[in-house]
Structure 1
Amino acid sequence: MRRPLVRDSLTWLLYLQLTCFALFLYGFGPSVLHLARDLGVPDVTAALHGTAFALGFLVAGVAGARLAALLGRDRLQWSALTLLSAATLLYVLGPAMPWTLTAAFLGGCAGMTVISVTTAALADHHGPRAATAISEANGMGVGVGLIAPLLVGGAALVGLDWRVGLVAVPFLVVGLRLAFRGVRLPDVRPGPVVRHSLEERGPGPGVFSAASRMPWRYWPAWAVVVTAGTIEMCMAIWVAEQLRQNTGLSRGAATMAFTLLLIGMTVGRLLGARLTQHLSADRLLMGSLLLNLGAFALLWLSTAPAPALIGVALCGLGMALQFPLAAGRAVDASAGRPDQAMARSGIGQGVASGLGPVALGVLAGSAGMRTAFLLVPALLGLAALMAAVRTR
């Protein structure tokens, strides 16, 4: 019988630290097209904010494992959250696109660092229950993060400044620092590579060897992490525009409708945390990809708001477990190197998530949003192929 997940103060701190980034991320995505109106630039140009954000992911992925080993997870995590707060303020106050692009880049650097540290620390701290903890952390993040697009879209709908959806991030970071000042994340120390799975090694401190290579079975899991992150980024930036063009919703209403995607993701991740105790991660991952594909078909084919909105919510339900399960599989296949596994995933996500939304925007400019949006099921198909490869 599997032992239950025990949530201590370290677990809750990690959950809430990830929530800080989720609040930024889910406000940032739907805010990009509102920012385009303010700056007077085309939508496809504004989508470069997604590229800058993804470039930050890439940089953090390259440096993340080394920084975790050098600084320790605790110092690195709080530094990243401080940077995230500064990036948020620069994004909402920046008077021109160079400032807001810089803010997006810094937000990506900070966000990937928070994701990597949180995932690796939860994997070490909870061992065989890591998949459940990672799913819960992501579920809580999305659940709180859905407040941001509601505020962004609601403010735009009633003629207020959409920026109110993002300003809570620095206050939340300060509040966490004060509330959890006695809790420290365990540091990463260099050491020999332990070549057995996450389930086998149980909870304990992570190990890191910069010179070692990942086993071959890590790379299919890596590919699923990368495609899952790219799908989330494409949906975050463009689903509101797809709804607006295909169903006739106003820009503010379409932005608020993005919240349905996050509600679906919240429900999926919280339910998924329970399902991981009874079903294998491989089976759940494949099921989530197939559900996402069917939900996308409903969204893409619908020209009336009601079925399209149902499709959005079901897309969120399908997307919910893709990243946490894929991240857990990648960590498990990394031969005992969770920080390095997440750092390399960050490199891939940085490249793919930067190219994905821009490619979708360019296609939308030439072939229309409806045709361009078919990039999403193409990515889902690739993820399904890679998920079918056994990583154990």
Structure 2
Amino acid sequence: MESAAKPPRLDASVQVGRRFHRDRVTWVLFAELSAVGYFMYGFGPSIPLLIDELGFSPQAAALHGAALGIGAVAAGSSSALLASWRGRDAVQRAALCTLAVGTAVYYAGGTFVVTLCGALIAGYAANVVVNTTAAALSDHHDSAAPAAISEANGVSLGVGLLAPLALGTAATVGLDSRAGLLPVIPFVAVVLLASRRTRLPDTRRAPDSPGDRSPAGGGLGYAFWVSWCVFLLCAGVELAMTFWASQELRDRAGMSSGAATMGVTAMLLGMVSVRLAGSRLTNRWSSGLLLAGSIGVNLLGFAVFWWTTTPWTALSGLVLCGFGIALQFPLTASRAIAASHGRPDRAMARIGVGEGLAAAGSPYILSSLADSVGIHLAFLMIPVLLCGATLGLLLGSRT
């Protein structure tokens, strides 16, 4: 990571990956993030099922995604302060316990208010864990952080792809689909027990630089905010697809509710396969080139998914979408951290706010458009977001 006095260039020449050693701290962080992955990748597909199971309107169901996003914004606004005040270990453990509580509330709720509160609680806790994990991996692995973050997300996603299968199976056999989220609770208990003697790296504060604008040295600079905007748009694509792809499979490809929910796993399989190979990819190619390629593959996969009316072709398109989406979070997050003047906790806090805005806005906007023009045409917002991300990447390459 370059010094705070000389912000790094984020063009195609930046090499973002080096070999890293997976020690006990690394595996603990992987496991903690995996608990979040199971919840997050199960929560999205559960939202359309609230319409059938609890009689919510599409807008009311979509508000659960907005609640998740509000929780993420709150996490982004507070996680860095909490980590500095109480230490990463205490924050991470408290957040994991809160995630288990939020999951239980979301499952047990039979009314809109209770399920919404569960989503808000879990959304806050999950994103505190995400922010703390990425910042800790960045400090622990330094220049190899992009590879570590990519692999962490790959492991988390590998666990998370089990969640839509559990939800779909529950829906198929006539149970409350949200029961598929309950494994989060024992998972958290096991992770906390196994990691009780492991200490995460403490927060590190970089020396102030002339470019910092706040008394605390908190200015992040133009390059960071360009990368942040690219992250926001890419996150909007991933969340909109995760939340509403199953509805498109039902309406356009004629799949049953349970099969469509399990069909989201096709996209997650594409994502996990590429994320697990992320360390090798980032060793070979630059972040700018990989990110541009991921956007192109995402557009291609979306075209296949959106155009077809047959289930297997639609699922193939989702796999391609997963290939494209896979590296967008770790690469955009790593590029933003690299431009943060050595402040990974602060950078991840801002990224957490972006994640929250994307979670609150993107799925809800798509559902609102669907009310006016139908879910099929509403999905055209995906290529619009991807084109915006491409423009941001081009701007970043000139920073």
TM-score (norm 1): 0.93
Matching residue of 2:10: none
Q: What is the CA–CA distance in structure 2 between the aligned matches of 1:347 and 1:31, rounded to whole Å?
A: 23
| Alpha-carbon separation, structure 2, partners of 1:125 and 1:158 | 45
| Cα gap change, 1:126 to 1:190, in 2 (>3 Å) | closer
SS of the residue 1:47 aligns to: helix
- Mapped partners of 2:315, 2:360: distance in 1: 26
Count of aligned pairs: 381
Aligned equivalents of 2:319, 2:307: Cα separation in 1: 15
Equivalent in the alignment of 1:234: 240
CA apart distance, 1:195: 8.9
**1: distance between equivalents of 2:115 and 2:218?**
38
Change (3 A) 1:295 1:234: same
Q: Secondary structure at the match of 1:212?
A: coil
Matched, 1:257 2:263: yes
Q: Take 2:117 and 2:240, find their aligned partners in 1: how far apart are those partners?
A: 20
Contact 1:139 1:265 survives alignment (8 Å): yes
1:48 alignment partner, one of 63, 69, 72 = 63
The amino acid of 1:264's aligned partner reads G
CA contact (8 A) 1:50 1:354 kept: yes
**Is contact 1:225-1:327 (8 Å) kept?**
yes
Please tell me the root mean square deviation across aligned C-alpha atoms, in Å: 1.9
- Secondary structure of the structure 2 residue equivalent to 1:217: helix
Equivalents in 2 of 1:210, 1:298: separation in Å?
A: 49
- Aligned residue number for residue 78 of structure 1: 93
| Residue matched to 2:109 | 94
Deviations 1:145-168 (Å, cap 9, x if unpaired)? 010100101121122331231111
Displacement of 1:341 in angstroms is 0.6
Secondary structure of 2:221's partner?
coil
| Equivalent position SS for 1:86 | helix
Contact 2:206 2:341 in 1 (8 A): no
Name the amino acid aligned to 2:222: W
| Cα distance, 1:38 vs structure 2 | 2.2
- Comparing 358-367 and 345-354, the one that deviates more: 345-354
Mapped partners of 1:107, 1:41: distance in 2: 20
Partner of 2:20: 5
Instruction: Kindly indicate whether the alpha-carbon contact (under 8 Å) linking 1:61 and 1:343 is maintained by their aligned counterparts in 2.
Output: yes
Q: How far apart are the structure 1 equivalents of 2:171 and 2:364?
A: 24
**TM-score calculated relative to the size of structure 2:** 0.92
Q: Structure 1: which amino acid aligns with 2:183?
A: A
Tell me, in whole angstroms, the C-alpha distance in 1 between the residues paired with 2:150 and 2:215.
27
Shift of 1:16: 0.8
Q: Which residue of 1 aligns with 2:225?
A: 219
Distance 1:161 1:321, change over 3 A: same
Q: Distance in 1 between matches of 2:40 and 2:357?
A: 17
Structure 2: distance between partners of 1:209 and 1:246: 54
- Counterparts in 2 of 1:29 and 1:209: CA distance versus 1, 3 Å: farther
1:162 aligns with 2:169: no
Query: Structure 2: any 5+ residue segments left out of the alignment?
Result: 1-14
Does residue 66 of structure 1 match 2:66? no
Q: Does 1:269 align with 2:275?
A: yes
In structure 1, distance between residues paired with 2:88 and 2:136: 8
How far is 1:8 from its partner? Answer: 0.3
Q: Is the 8 A contact 1:57 1:346 kept in 2?
A: yes
- 2:6 matched to which residue of 1? none
What corresponds to 1:185 in structure 2? 200
**Identity between Structure 1 and Structure 2 (%):** 45
Q: Distance in 2 between matches of 1:210 and 1:64?
A: 16
Q: Are the counterparts in 1 of residues 205 and 343 from structure 2 also a CA contact under 8 Å?
A: no
2:166 pairs with 1:151? yes
Shift of 1:97: 1.1
Work out whether residues 271 and 323 of structure 2, in 8 Å CA contact, stay in contact via their aligned partners in 1.
yes
Distance 2:47 2:18 in 1: 44
Selected match of 2:372 from 366, 373, 376: 366
TM-superposed CA distance for 1:209, in Å, is 7.8
Question: 1:119-138 residue pairs with structure 2 within 5 A?
Answer: 119-138=134-153
Between 1 and 2, higher relative CO (CA 8 Å, sep ≥ 6) is seen in: 2
Alpha-carbon distance in 1 for matches of 2:210, 2:33 = 28
Aligned to 1:313, which of 302, 319, 327?
Answer: 319
